[in-house]
Chain A
Amino acid sequence: MSQSTKQSYAGLDGYEGSLGGVTRREFLKFCTGIAATMGLPAGMGMRIAEAAASPQRPPVIWLSAQECTGCTESLLRSTHPTLEQLILDAISLDYHETLCAGAGHQAEAAKKASMEANKGKYVLVVDGSIPTKDGGIYCKIAGRTVLEHLHETAEHAAAIIAIGSCASWGGIPSSGPNPTGAKGVSKILTDRPIVNIPGCPPNPYNFLATVLHFLTFNRLPELDNKARPKFAYNRLIHENCERRPHFDAGRFAVEFGDDGHRKGWCLYKLGCKGPETYANCPAILFGDVGPGAWPVGTGAPCFGCTEEGVGFTKAIHALSELKTVTPPVTYPRITEDKGQGVSAGAAALAAGIVGAAAGAAVVVASKIGKTSDAPPKAGPDPEQE
């Protein structure tokens, strides 16, 4: 163990009281787990723990626009540690409409105070889509449109995270005919780098991991071309799906409740969007309850919630576009060929070979006496054979 790691442990002991009831062991486990989620080396767990337990907890302002609170609900159900432990101890959640202790003008005042005190240092999280039609009058907080709130809060934010499909690209409120002109955060704040954590709801650990990455390294994780963290969204669901072998072998459920569906076969023909949706659902699952706890695992086709242009856009039972492999026209046999008995031709040939060899041996053996009695000493006769 290196000197610096030892010091980190010692440092953490000092914060024992500030971990809000989480044991030191549980906290370190959580931080190491988060490091694993992001594919970081195990030792990074210590740095994450240090950052998360730092007395200068970074302030977070959480704006809610046209949303269903699903993202918040999902976060509330993260268990290692629970969200309240994270937001009370690791970050300073200065404003969140659902979780705020205060209400009304008191809450707005707290937000304003935090924004001024932490200018350029706070993290802005947005859930829900932003209505833009008619000046954005379809969603108002404290008498002002969310659009105004967003512009005002984003101006001095250190980082902006759009959580959920709605904040990422518009989500369900933006589905046709889109009466409110709903848009994602990145379509409005076009001059700022924004991290999208899409999903309906998103996996809480993808959000927590992104926040902790920012706290630990002071920069955002690597993003893909849709501004999603690569550690979570760089693989198709299809690639890590536990039903993938059924796809490759041509075993599909074609109707809900049919034989194939009951046997856990591939849901592609029921409209599963796994083959065109990038997310880590099959790898990290939901709800911390063990294997199979994700939509496809329970027999529900993926509807592509993390993928703009798929979730809330394509019909639920429409076939997905295959981005990697297409299923072949014919499939290899599933049954194992155990071989047949002797075929008539094979038996005849085997008998023929044995017979010919035996015959030749007998002929040779019978001739030996004659030749060995009078071995011809003369040169070989080319005509003889």
Chain B
Amino acid sequence: MSAHEPVGGRLLTKPFMVFAVLAMIGFAILAARFFFGLGAVTNLNDGYTWGIWIVIDIMIGTAFGCAGYSVALLVYLLNRGEYHPLVRPALLAGLFGYTLGGMAAVIDLGRYWQIYTLFMPWYAQFNSIMLEVAWCVTAYTIVLWIEFTPTFLERFGLKNLRQKLSKVLFIFIAVGILLPTMHQSSLGTMLVALGYQVSPLWQTQWIGLLFLVSAILMGYAIVPFEGILASMGLRRPVEGELIARLSRIMFVVLAGYLIIRFADLIARGALGLAFAGDLDAVMFWVENLLFVVPLLLLVQAGNRSSPRMIFIAAISLLLAGSVYRINAYLVGYHPAGGGWHYFPSVPEMLVTVGIFSLEVVAYLVFVKKLPVLHRA
């Protein structure tokens, strides 16, 4: 018998309705996007071809979705079985992050009806990083659904199938650890192709590693973030002990990240730009202060056992990783030719809000109806 159970309870609660309405607004705008094109809805232009639908919905969305990857790394690769109760909620976060990220990619494709060609190897251009990311993200999304399948099988009492799946599940778990390692770094490596157009504060040959480590960090941060929110909203006990131990791992990885980040900046002699006083510099400090705050919070052993402090540190980390991605792809990116401007339009932002709202709505449905959360 599984150690997980559905939370149960009424589905149509007030937050559920609010987020459902927000999601519907987003979809109404998407209808306009598919009828009248990207230009009618977004502020994208030939200089800024990627806006928040890519940077937030995909880059940040899938980094949030790294919860499944980060926890799996811990449980299966480092053999720390005690974290097992965190696996399913983390997988769920990954499931949503990646599925909606993939959806956002289709929305953002100018000629979305050509997307099937992506999966025909004879059309493939094997020197393209975009191809690697597209294949990898798609494969991982499928793997996530397979990894999550036991939840459905348990819900519908298909024990036979569940047992058969258990025998081969380790393959998918292994692949599920390999794939994000590849594409989360590639999401950063794509930036290298933009060359001098990206400020040296972000443009570096180490960007792949920095994106990967920050994605792992965000994956760890989402676990206490989601766990604490769920325990409050759904009136459940916090997995206090586990989260406290996780926060120590977070601290170590975070310290490692900051060392690489600043060592690289100093080695390249790019740190001077952080004092230029322009928008790039300001955003650079906002980003890195958000990384430093959790470091300072978690360095104190007392804070590491306080759910409140861990929650604040987690939020700060999630924001830091998000600002890092926005900085690298939008703020620090100065398209060649000069004179380009981009700030998301109102409909553009509402779509992003809608996608994240959909994630909340789906989360509520899943945890209430499926055995996701650990038995209280």
Contacts and interface: CB of A to CB of B under 8 A. Distances in A.
Interface in A330-385: 336-343, 345-347, 349-350, 353, 361, 364-365, 367-369, 371-372, 375-385
Contact of A368 (B234, B311, B341): B311
A349 B308 CA distance: 28
Contacts of A353: 349, 353
B228 A364 contact: yes
A382 B229 CA distance: 16
A336 B233 contact: no
Contacts of B344: 346, 350
Interface residues of A, number: 33
User: How many of chain B's residues touch chain A, expressed as a range?
Assistant: 35 or more
Q: Is the interface of A mostly helix, strand, loop or mixed?
A: loop
Interface string B33-50: 000000000011111100
A372 B229 CA distance: 12
A349 B346 contact: yes
B279 to A, nearest CB: 12
B340 interface: yes
B14 interface: yes
A364 B353 contact: no
A379 to B, nearest CB: 8
B238 interface: yes
B45 A372 contact: no
B308 A372 contact: yes
A365 B341 contact: no
B298 to A, nearest CB: 15
B2 to A, nearest CB: 18
B315 interface: yes
A385 B231 contact: no
A380 B7 contact: yes
Contacts of B110: none
B14 A385 contact: yes
B81 interface: no
A338 B234 contact: no
B193 to A, nearest CB: 21
Nearest to B364: A385
Interface of B: 7-10, 13-16, 43-48, 228-229, 231-238, 240, 307-308, 311-312, 315, 339-346, 349-350, 353, 376
25 contacts: A336-B45, A337-B46, A338-B45, A338-B339, A338-B340, A339-B48, A340-B43, A341-B341, A343-B345, A346-B343, A346-B349, A347-B343, A350-B349, A361-B315, A364-B228, A367-B232, A371-B238, A375-B237, A377-B237, A377-B376, A379-B8, A380-B7, A382-B9, A385-B14, A385-B15
